[in-house]
Amino acid sequence: MRVIFAGGGTGGHINPAISIADYAASQDKDFEALFIGTKSGMETKLVPKAGYKLEFIDIAGFDRKHLLKNVSVVKKLLKANSDCKKIIKEFKPDCIVCTGGYVSGPVAIASKKTGVPSLIHEQNVYPGLTVRGAEKYVSYLALSFEETINHMNHKEKCVVTGNPIRGEILKADYTASREKLGIKKPFVLIFGGSLGADKINDTVIDMLDRIVKDNKIELLFGTGDRNYEKIMNKIEERGIELSENVKVVSYIDNMAECMAAADLVVSRAGAITVSEIAALGKPSILIPSPNVVRNHQEQNAREFERSGAAAVIVESELSADVLYNKMMSMAENKHALDEMSANLKKLAKTDALEKIYDLMLKMSKGETK
C-alpha cells in the first residue's frame, strides 16, 4: 500500500500520522509512505527521524482578527492546492491520511480533485476549522469521540476510531524504563507540548531552585525547542544550579520511555497527550491551554477530573506555589496515585491504529462512503 500523510505544525498533529504509518508498515511489507508538511513545523524534525520522506508546501492559517492579511493566505492556498495535486500524481498513493494542521486542508482538496480516497482524523471533541472545511472532500471522518458526530455535516462519513497511540507508548514498561533511565526516586515529568508553553515554563523556573534543594523527587522538564535557550539563560541569571536529579531539555525524544517511568505527569491537555496518559495509566496534573478554539483542552481535562483520573489547574490560577504543593502532595501519596491510575485505565482507548488501518484498507480497495 502506498499512502500520503498530511499533518503539520505541532507534534500533536505529526505524531499520530507517524504512529499510523509505523503500524501500517508493521502490517504490510510493501508499505510506502510520503509525508506532506511545511518547512516551519515540527514535521521537519520528526518525520525524517522516523525514517519517512517529506515533501513541503507553503500554507498558512486564516487570520480571523486581521482579514486583509488573508489575501496572501488565499494565494498560498491556491498554490498549495496545485502543488499537492502534483505530489499526488507523482507518488500515486492508494489513499491519503490527514491528521490535522493547516497542511491537511489543501491535501484533502487535492485528494478529491485527483480521485484518490482520503480520510481526515479529528483528535478533539469539537472539530477544528481544517476538519470542517475538509469534510466534503474526504471519504471518511475518523473521530476520537462519539459526540463529534453531532458537529459534522457529513455524518454518513463518520467513524469513531479514538486517538492513535504510538506503539512505543503501548509497549513501554514502568520498571524497565526506570532502570534504563536510572530513576530511583519519585519521578515527575513536565512538558508543555512540542513547542512549549510560556506560562508553564515560567512557573517551573520559579520552583526549580526549591525542587533542587528539597531533593525529594527526580524531575525532567521539557521546555519546547523554541524556548530552551531563553529558559536556560533565565536559570543561569537566577543562579539556579541544576542537579543530577533535575534535568532540563529542549525536546523529549524518548517520550514513551520517560512517560512510562514517570510517577506523575504535568502537561497541557491536548487530545493526543491525554490519550497517551490514559493508555499508560499515568496520574497527571493537567494545565489546559486557554488559547485553543472552543476551549477543548479544558474540556479534555475536566472529563479526566470528573472521572478521578487527573488533577486540573487552570492557567489563571497557576503559580509556583500552587503547582509545587499539588505536585509534591500527589507524588508522595502512592495510594492516591494508584487509585488515579486505575481510573485512567477505564478511559483508555488503545485500538485506534487498528481501526484507522482498516479504513485505509477499505479506501485502497475502493470501499468508501
Give the per-residue pLDDT at 65: 56
Please give the angle made by the CA atoms of 303, 160 and 339, to the nearest 5 degrees.
35
What lies within 8 Å, CB to CB, of 168 at 6+ separation is 256, 257
Helices then strands, each counted (H, E), the chain: 15, 13
Q: Is the dihedral of CA 316, 317, 323, 326 positive or negative?
A: negative
Q: Which tens digits make up the pLDDT trace of 88-145?
A: 999 999 999 999 888 999 999 999 999 999 999 998 888 888 899 999 999 999 998 8
Ordered by where they begin, the domains of the chain are 2-165+350-364 (3.40.50.2000), 168-347 (3.40.50.2000)
Can you give the pTM of this predicted structure? 0.79
Cβ–Cβ < 8 Å for 94, 363: yes
Which residue positions in the chain have pLDDT lower than 70? Answer: 60-74, 193-196, 293, 369
State the Cα–Cα distance between residues 263 and 337, nearest whole angstrom. Answer: 8
Question: Could you tell me which residues come within 8 angstroms of residue 317 by beta carbon, excluding any fewer than 6 positions away?
Answer: none
For residues 268 and 248, what is the distance between their CA atoms, to the nearest angstrom?
Answer: 17
pLDDT single digits (tens) 238-266: 999 999 999 999 989 899 999 999 999 99
The sign of the CA dihedral 288, 168, 347, 258 is negative
